[in-house]
Chain A
Amino acid sequence: MYAVHVENIVKTYGDRRVLDGVSLDVPEGQFYAMMGPNGSGKTTLASIIAAVRTADSGNVEVYGQKPAQAKELIGYVPQENFSSPKLTGRENLVYFANLLGYSRNQADKLVVEMLQRVGLAEESDKRVSKFSGGMRKRLEVATVLFPGIKVLILDEPTTGLDPSARRAFFGMVQEIMDKKTSVILITHIGSDAELAARVGLIDSGKMIAEGTPDELKKKHAVEDAITVETVAKNDGVLSVLKGYSINERVADSATGYKIYSKNGDKILADVVRSLDKAGHRVMRIEMAKPTLEDVFFKLTEKNLQEAGI
């Protein structure tokens, strides 16, 4: 029996089909990442697994039961912060422990343990309004660490966190996972998804690829990815880069552009020369191993950060 079994889920909002026949299975103890751009349907799918919404058709099971019957097993951390800023970290966790049915005494003991597990024992009596974004997210993850919860659904938990806070967050997730706990991570960040044992790529409500990060990269992103940063980003730069990229595919990145080539090391110098000749000064150029974001781009011709907009 899978921890989570999703079969041919369809969900529409008005005329818009948000999920269009998505299926996936998560075995017990697996760290599964669902990656896609904003608006791809991944949050809706997460909320259906978490019993927050219902699907129009299809089947979802958590340990063989409908999600609404398996709420004791599900720990859901929505994308939005849900801890109360007016309560302390400890008060927030006691509130959730009591909602789960733990008595005051049991809750007090458990909460001490939870706070230690997420590294907030020292800050536990501060109001959450004084917490940083990373601390608040760790506190919210602590709400799904109570005994008995076996499926953690984390929706975009690292949005808004700086790189070091993101690293610390996933370090904590790795520590809290045990062989019986399955984690479903919803993300649009490739480097977060790389940490998972298995990744599902979702776009426009459809699962477009699934596998381990290595499998996906080997199968779909065999080219070298070259990141080019110029003094300015404009159509002139784009036009030069298109000439060097497979199928003229140029992806926008935060600070420049990404192009793809089967022999990246050989064309690096040519790219710099051509840009220079066209009057575009190159600030940085580097070749990198393909990432899951490259895989997504290869499959959809869309950039993860922009596709949903």
Chain B
Amino acid sequence: MIQISAAFTKTIRELLRERSALFWTIAWPIIWVVIGSFSFTGSAPAEVVPYIKGAITVSMMVFALMIAGMANLPASIAGDRATGLLAKLISMPIKPYKDFTGRILAVVMLSILAAALVVIIGFTIGARFTGNGIEILSAIGFVLLVICAATGVGLIISTFIKHLQGAIMTGVGIAVVTSAISGLFAPYEVLPAALQVFSRIYPISAAHSAIVYLVAGPGVVGYNPLTYGQIILTISASVIVLVAGIVLYSRLSWKLE
């Protein structure tokens, strides 16, 4: 336990002391919550504006979670590989799973912090959410699925992209491109049919739709993401991506040639 705690403490301290990580994970989504809330609500009826702001807030919260898992986690791992830390860790009596568990927990902590701040700012500028206690809890469950999937993608990136800049750029690139083509930044209805299928399979956009459906109402989503089949698909895809990331990372990353 102390080894997991050591990896967690080191990683969270590094993330919180890295200004660029904080900017892209927390400040950048907040900026877009503010810009989006005032730019994309002009022609909407006054009574639905708070819920559109709510949907924008959820989208940017999910984007923050994606950046935390897909860019910050690979950056942390690639940075340690670029220095001699990976070699040092391999030479020490520590199991790989303890190292990556600590790192993942740190990213989860940063993700929760980022999500909370985005939601608080969104709420402050007028975003409103629907939903009773169970729906809110369910939405939090889908937030955890987003974190799982983003972390899994981050671990896969860490396994194959060995250099710091490459890891960051790949993570940000995947986050931005998949957000754009899966309906995170655009209404589901305007996506081509193939991308609508992708949007339902890709665990992050599927979980995002479920969160919006639960806390901002069904009108904004474009389909029902809470059917049994879709929920099972979303959970399965998130867990598969996370498990794939863990397996690849622990088998391929934790060794030198």
The chain A residues found within 8 Å of chain B, CB to CB, are 13, 47, 50-53, 71-72, 74, 76-82, 84, 86-87, 91, 94-96, 98-104, 143
Contact = CB atoms under 8 A, between A and B. Distances in A.
Nearest to B18: A86
Given A53-B256, A82-B85, A86-B18, A91 B92 contact: no
A172 B193 CA distance: 69
B90 A52 contact: yes
A81 B92 contact: no
Contacts of A47: 87, 91, 256
Interface residues of B, number: 26
B2 A91 contact: no
A98 B2 contact: yes
B135 interface: no
B18 A52 contact: no
| A-B pairs, 9 with minimum CB distance | A78-B84, A98-B6, A80-B84, A82-B84, A76-B91, A71-B93, A82-B85, A50-B91, A78-B87
Interface stretch (B7-15, B167-175, B178-186, B229-237): B7-15
Nearest to B99: A99
Contacts of B93: 71-72, 100-101
9 contacts: A47-B91, A71-B92, A72-B93, A74-B91, A78-B84, A78-B87, A84-B10, A84-B14, A96-B92
Interface of B: 2-3, 5-7, 9-10, 13-14, 17-18, 80, 82-85, 87-94, 256-257
A237 to B, nearest CB: 40
Given A52-B90, A76-B91, A98-B2, A86 B13 contact: yes
Nearest to A13: B257
Given A86-B13, A95-B9, A100 B92 contact: yes
Determine which residue in B13, B89, B92, B256 has the highest number of CB atoms from chain A within 10 A of its CB, and name it: B92
B220 to A, nearest CB: 40
Nearest to B2: A98
Given A13-B257, A53-B257, A86-B13, A76 B5 contact: no
A78 B256 contact: no
A91 B13 contact: yes
B88 A78 contact: yes
A51 B82 CA distance: 19
Contacts of B87: 47, 50, 52, 76, 78, 80, 82
Given A52-B256, A53-B257, A98 B84 contact: no
B2 to A, nearest CB: 5
A141 to B, nearest CB: 12
A98 B91 CA distance: 15
Contacts of B82: 80
B63 to A, nearest CB: 25
B91 A81 contact: no
Given A13-B257, A86-B17, A80 B83 contact: yes
Given A82-B83, A82-B84, A87 B90 contact: no
A13 to B, nearest CB: 7
Nearest to A87: B13
Nearest to A78: B84
